[in-house]
Chains A and B, each alone.
Chain A
Amino acid sequence: AAGVIQSPRHLIKEKRETATLKCYPIPRHDTVYWYQQGPGQDPQFLISFYEKMQSDKGSIPDRFSAQQFSDYHSELNMSSLELGDSALYFCASSLIAGTYNEQFFGPGTRLTVL
């Protein structure tokens, strides 16, 4: 079965640079979620989209923005990168009308900021 795809899998950036992470949900899933997991931390919810509209917002810095496109893929844009942004970024998808909104996670993108 198709899973959530994230690209790139690894990304190395310098401080103050910009990064774009991409997420391709499971086909027919209409909701995408972004989570950030810092070293030794549990994943923290950043933001979610349902049918291309933001549905909820967590602890996402103002330097970050995200959107969901007409094909339901999502991009997380991160500007003015800081050392503390180094983390594993997970995308998940679900079908709102599906079974209790179970979220399916992608493999993650590891961002390293030097």
Chain B
Amino acid sequence: KQEVTQIPAALSVPEGENLVLNCSFTDSAIYNLQWFRQDPGKGLTSLLLIQSSQREQTSGRLNASLDKSSGRSTLYIAASQPGDSATYLCVVPNQAGTALIFGKGTTLSVSS
């Protein structure tokens, strides 16, 4: 059964720092991996989706990498801003591709 683990559970950094969020998954046979952002009590915003054949994706200050063989992904946020404060969720499909499995998230707080 696929399990997704995110480390750390919470992270506090001053504005301007570069940071890395980590995600690991137990079954490397994934179709893709997705990073979402969620503000408190709000919906899910898709940040980046990495296909299984890709090693990384970039969007603005965000860069996500995928190493399927080791079951790991990282989300790199450059020059963090207070507006980046949110919970970041790592998500992979189940083996059948019929549902998504979410990690428990990393809650990021960026102070000005």
Contacts and interface: CB of A to CB of B under 8 A. Distances in A.
Interface of A: 33, 35, 42-45, 48, 55-56, 58, 88, 90, 92, 99-108, 110
Given A42-B104, A105-B44, A33 B99 contact: yes
B79 interface: no
11 contacts: A35-B100, A42-B103, A42-B104, A42-B105, A43-B89, A45-B100, A55-B98, A56-B96, A88-B41, A100-B52, A106-B43
A71 to B, nearest CB: 22
A58 B89 contact: no
Contacts of A42: 89, 102-105
Contacts of A58: 99
A56 B98 contact: yes
B46 A104 contact: yes
Nearest to A106: B43
Contacts of B19: none
B20 to A, nearest CB: 20
Contact of A45 (B32, B34, B41, B99): B99
Nearest to A88: B41
Given A44-B102, A105-B44, 7 more contacts: A43-B102, A45-B94, A45-B100, A56-B96, A58-B99, A108-B43, A108-B44
A103 B31 contact: no
Residue from B97, B100, B105 whose CB has the most chain A CB atoms within 10 Å? B100
Which among B43, B102, B105 has the greatest number of chain A C-beta atoms within 10 A? B43
Interface in B60-112: 89, 93-94, 96-105
A90 B93 CA distance: 16
A101 B93 contact: yes
Contacts of B102: 42-44
